[in-house]
Amino acid sequence: MELKYKHLLLGLLLVLVGLITFYPHYTYTYPLHVDEWQHLAQARSVYTTGELSKVNPYFVEGDTYESYEHGFQVFLAMVLYNIGFDPVLAYKFLPALFMLLGAISLFVLVSYLFKNYWIALLSVVFYLSLKSNVNIYGPWFFVPLTFALPFVAVFLLTLLKGINEDRRYLLFASLIAALILAVHPITITFLFPVLAIYFLMSNNTNKFILSGLFFALSIVGAFVIQFQYGWGIVEINYLLPEFFGWGASVMAIIGLIVCMKKKQHLMPIWVLVTLLMIYVFILFDIAFLAPYQRLIFYLLLGMIPLAALGTYTLATNINSKMIVGVFIAALLVSSFYNYLDLPSNAELYYMIDSDQYALIKMLPEESIVVASQTVSTAATPISGAKVYTGIIANLKQSGRAVVNDYFDEPCESTLAFDYAIHDQKIDCDDVTLVEQQGRYRLYRKA
């Protein structure tokens, strides 16, 4: 196939990547995951104060929190709050954008590893088939994990080029590693044992130095970075072949065997080490270097190039074009048929609707609003208002009982606030109806 047609095919596939990833936002214009809302609230705090604070931006008496993802919040503050558009409304484009960047970086990395256009192209197809849910994240959400993913492929590419070809690439690899550490540390720490074993099995003259370095990082990381059962609030046992696709999983096994025969060890080691880390968690209820939910996702990422290699290997050994076409079609169906299926305890949820958004936009910055958990979670990133409650996630939950008590007996409450948003009528002397949107009302306290 001529080069221009290869570029055209890749371009069309990338358009498809963007369109499919954007699917959840065809009917919903706001962030989907509570983590997205909370990162927006933290980014707004960074933008307005000009500093990285450990004080929870939601609450009047902000408690402190620990975060190792400040780099992500700085990015959001620099980009979303400086573009001149509503950050909350612009947010929906970021998952598709970074999925595109991830697909491009994956294509380049796989092209470098296997020196084959079709294997790289098939990798993008399997990358597109990755499922999403609120438990393991995935392409539908823009969180530190999905921000970091495109840079993982760039890190590996520059690291390998720096070690095997031109040492100047090592500087770029170091900078990319530092970026990932600032944004989502576990997206690189899980690679430490993978790279330790990979370099040990390589033919590089400095393999013992490189392997020793990553082994040391693995040991230190395992002592520092640990996740107990229950870290993810909801713990779901995933059947990997069903989640990745039975056909794609079989192709990944074939690809792993082919890689081992060709002594191309990186991706097989990635998959086997990550699988071992997952089983350690299953057996002992503790995960090292990355939590179970993220390890599941990292394992799927490692299986993608192997599935592409297995598919290409099998397809090129079939003489009939018709059989190849049927084989590819069946493989795609088995990978995508359950793309929209979500676990019952990890389904998509909507924090607010357009009526609630319109009322929240009317809140003055730093005003205190009493509202439900969902409205409160959205209020701070949208308007900068302070709240009493919120949905538990990266930031702590607080004040749910206080809010419930107010709406149960609003006229007897002594709760201090400036505004209230609720779907019930509040008929008290000290509050005035400001605006109503649909069934929701905005009240101002006298």
pLDDT digits (tens, 9 = 90+) for 15-45: 999 999 999 999 999 999 999 999 999 999 8
Average pLDDT over residues 211-237: 85
Residue 177 pLDDT level (bands cut at 50, 70, 90): very high
Token digits for 6? 């290869």
113 Cβ contact list (under 8 Å, min separation 6): 264, 266, 267, 305
Please, are residues 381 and 391 in contact by the beta-carbon 8 Å criterion?
A: no
Q: Which residue has the tokens 């939590």?
A: 291
- pTM of the predicted protein model: 0.92
Residue 261 pLDDT level (bands cut at 50, 70, 90): very high
Residue 320 pLDDT level (bands cut at 50, 70, 90): confident
For residue 400, the model assigns a pLDDT of 61
Residue 4 pLDDT level (bands cut at 50, 70, 90): confident
- State how far the Cα of 147 lies from the Cα of 39, in Å rounded to an integer: 12
Residue 234 pLDDT level (bands cut at 50, 70, 90): low
Average pLDDT over residues 227-247: 79
pLDDT at 195 over 70: yes
Average pLDDT over residues 91-98: 96
- Residue 286: strand, helix, or coil: strand
* Domain ranges (residues) in the chain: 3-30+85-336, 354-445
Please, are residues 308 and 120 in contact by the beta-carbon 8 Å criterion?
A: yes
pLDDT at 163 over 80: yes
pLDDT at 301 over 70: yes
Using left for φ > 0, alpha for ψ between -120 and 50, and beta otherwise, residue 391 falls in: beta
